[in-house]
Amino acid sequence: MKKIVKEIKKLEILLDKKLYILKDKVDYIISNKISDKKEIEFTLDNLLDLVYWYGDNIKELYYSLLEFYKDIDLKAASDYEKFYLDIINEE
């Protein structure tokens, strides 16, 4: 049991680091008005991966990038909103 707890703690640390990096990435994309759809979607995909762990606590960060993306590709942004809501509603 101690080994499982230790592994979960390691996972928490890695996920927190990933979230910190993604926060910086979202800030960078928005502040520099990056319009590269692949870069934005890659970042949204990574944020979606964290929704399973952080749940609704990641919503503000996710939606800040999503709102920015709506000006670039409204259809794709709508799809990403649906993906997020599907994950949240599963829990």
Per-residue confidence in pLDDT tens, the chain, 91 aa: 888 988 889 988 999 999 999 999 999 999 999 999 999 999 999 999 999 888 888 999 999 999 999 999 999 999 999 999 999 888 6
**Euclidean distance between CA atoms 40 and 44, whole angstroms:** 6
Give the span between the Cα atoms of 82 and 43, in whole angstroms: 16
Task: Let me know if 18 is exposed, middle or buried by CB neighbors in 10 A (0-12, 13-18, 19+).
Answer: middle
Domain that holds residue 58: 2-90
Question: Do the Cβ atoms of 82 and 64 come closer than 8 Å?
Answer: no
**Tally of domains within the chain:** 1
Q: What pLDDT is recorded for position 2?
A: 87
Is-above-0.75 flag for pTM? yes
What is the predicted pLDDT for the residue at 91? 60
Q: How far apart are CA 18 and CA 23, in angstroms?
A: 9
